[in-house]
Structure 1
Amino acid sequence: MANTTQKSPAKRETFNSRLMFMMAAIGSAVGLGNIWRFPYVTYDNGGGAFLIPYLVALLTAGIPILWFDFAIGHRYRASAPLAFRRMARWAEPIGWFKAGVAFFIAIYYAAILAWAGLYTVKSFNQAWGDDPESYLMNDFLKMDSSSTFSGDFVLPILVTLIAVWIFAIAVLAMNVNKGIGSLTLVFVPVLIILFVIMVVRALFLDGALEGLNAFFTPDWSALSNTSVWIAAYGQIFFSLSVGFGIMITYASYLKPRSNLTGTGMTTAFANSSFEVLAGIGVFATLGFMSVTSHVAVGDVASGGIGLAFIAFPTIINQMPMGALFGVMFFGSLFLAGITSLISIMEVVFAALSEKLGWNRATTAIVFGTIMAVLSTVMFASTSSLVILDIMDKWTNNLGIVFCAAMALLIVAWVTGRRNEIAQHLNAVSSIRVGRIWEFCAFILTPVALIIMMFNEIKSMLAEPYGGYSSAQLNLFGWGTLAVIVIAGIVLSALPYSKKTITDRIPGSDFGVPAKGRRKGEPNPLVVGAVSSSTDATSTTSTTPRS
Structure 2
Amino acid sequence: MAQLRDGFQSRLGFVLAAAGAAVGLGNIWGFPTQAANHGGGAFLLVYFIVIFLLALPALYTELYLGHQAQSNPVNALRQAWKEKAPKIGAGAGYLGLLGAIIMLSFYSIVAGWMLAFSLEPLSRLFGFEQASEFLKSDSTLRNFIFTPLMLLLTASIILKGVKSGIETWSRRLMPMLLLLLIALIAYIATLDGASEGFSAYLVPDFSKVTDPDLVIAAMGQAFFSLSLGVGCMMIYGSYLKPNENLPKLTLSVAALDTGVAFLAGLLIVPAIFVAQHNGVEVFQDGKLVGEGRLIFAVLPELFSSMGAIGLWVGLTFFVLMSIASVTSTISSTEIPVSFLVESHGMQRKGATWLVTAIVFSVSSTIIVNFEWLFGLVITLLTQYQLPLMGLFYFVTVGWIWKRGNQLSLECKGAHYWFAQYVRFVCPILMTAVFLNVAFK
TM-score normalised to structure 2 length? 0.90
> Does the CA-based 8 Å contact 2:18-2:233 persist in structure 1?
yes
- Deviation (angstroms), 1:178: 1.1
The residue number in structure 2 matching 1:352 is: 340
How far apart in 2 are the matches of 1:296 and 1:393? 25
Which residue number in structure 2 is paired with residue 109 of structure 1?
A: 107
* CA pair 359-10 structure 1, distance change in 2 beyond 3 A: farther
Report the counterpart of residue 209 of structure 1 in structure 2: 195
For 1:7-406, list aligned pairs within 5 A.
11-87=4-80, 88=82, 89-90=86-87, 91-124=89-122, 140-142=137-139, 154-293=140-279, 301=288, 305-320=292-307, 321-379=309-367, 381=368, 383-384=369-370, 386-406=372-392
Q: CA deviation at 1:44?
A: 2.2
Gaps in structure 1 of 5+ consecutive residues: 1-7, 128-134, 143-153, 427-431, 460-546
Q: Distance in 2 between matches of 1:424 and 1:48?
A: 41
CA displacement at 1:215 relative to structure 2: 2.3
Question: 1:37·1:304 contact (CA, 8 Å) conserved in 2?
Answer: no
Answer whether contact 2:235 2:335 (CA < 8 A) is retained: yes
Q: Calculate the aligned-residue CA RMSD, in Å.
A: 2.6
The CA distance in 2 between the partners of 1:332 and 1:220, in whole Å, is: 33
Q: Tell me the alpha carbon deviations over residues 459-512 of structure 1, each in whole angstroms, 9 at most, x when there is no partner.
A: 4xxxxxxxxxxxxxxxxxxxxxxxxxxxxxxxxxxxxxxxxxxxxxxxxxxxxx
Residue 434 (structure 1) aligns with: 415
Take 1:223 and 1:40, find their aligned partners in 2: how far apart are those partners?
Answer: 17
Matched position secondary structure for 1:293: coil
Write the letter of the residue equivalent to 2:416.
R
- Structure 1 residues 10 and 438, CA, compared in 2 at 3 Å: closer, same or farther? closer
**Residue number in structure 1 paired with 2:426:** 445
- 2:275–2:299 Cα contact (<8 Å) kept: no
1:407 and 2:393 matched: yes
CA shift, 1:440, in A, is: 3.5
> Partner of 2:192: helix, strand, or coil?
coil
Q: Offset of 1:303 from its aligned partner?
A: 7.0
Residue 190 of structure 1: CA displacement? 0.9
Deviation per CA, 1:220-244, whole angstroms, max 9, x where unpaired?
A: 2222222222111111100111222
- Supply the distance in 2 between the matched residues of 1:295 and 1:107 (Cα, whole angstroms): 32
Preserved contact between residue 126 and residue 317 of structure 1 (Cα < 8 Å): no
Secondary structure of the structure 2 residue equivalent to 1:420: coil
Please say which structure displays the higher CA radius of gyration.
1
Q: CA deviation at 1:390?
A: 1.8
Residue 516 (structure 1) aligns with: none
Displacement after TM superposition at 1:447 (Å): 1.3
Contact 2:229 2:385 in 1 (8 A): no
Q: Specify the SS of the correspondent of 2:161.
A: coil
CA contact (8 A) 1:246 1:343 kept: yes
Quote how far apart the aligned CAs of 1:264 are: 0.9
The structure richer in helix per residue is 2
Query: 1:292-319 CA distances to partner (integer Å, 9 max, x unpaired)?
Result: 1186767684575411111111111112
Secondary structure of 2:54's partner?
A: helix
User: What is the CA distance between 1:367 and its match in structure 2?
Assistant: 2.2
- Output one character per residue of 1:154-174: Cα deviation in whole Å (capped at 9) or x when no partner: 323212222211121222122
Q: 1:317-364, CA deviations, whole angstroms, 9 ceiling, x for partnerless residues?
A: 112410001011111110001110110111122123222121222211
In structure 2, distance between residues paired with 1:277 and 1:13: 33
1:162-201 Cα offsets, whole Å, 9 max, x none, are 2211121222122211111111111111111111111111
Please show how residues 405-484 of structure 1 align to structure 2 within 5 Å. Answer: 405-416=391-402, 420-421=406-407, 433-459=414-440
Moved more, 449-458 or 325-334: 449-458
TM-score by length of structure 1 reads 0.73
Letter in 1 for 2:301: T
Return the alpha-carbon distance in structure 2 between the equivalents of residues 303 and 24 of structure 1.
32
Name the SS of the counterpart of 2:278 in structure 1. Answer: helix
In 2, the alpha carbon distance for the partners of 1:44 and 1:411 equals 35
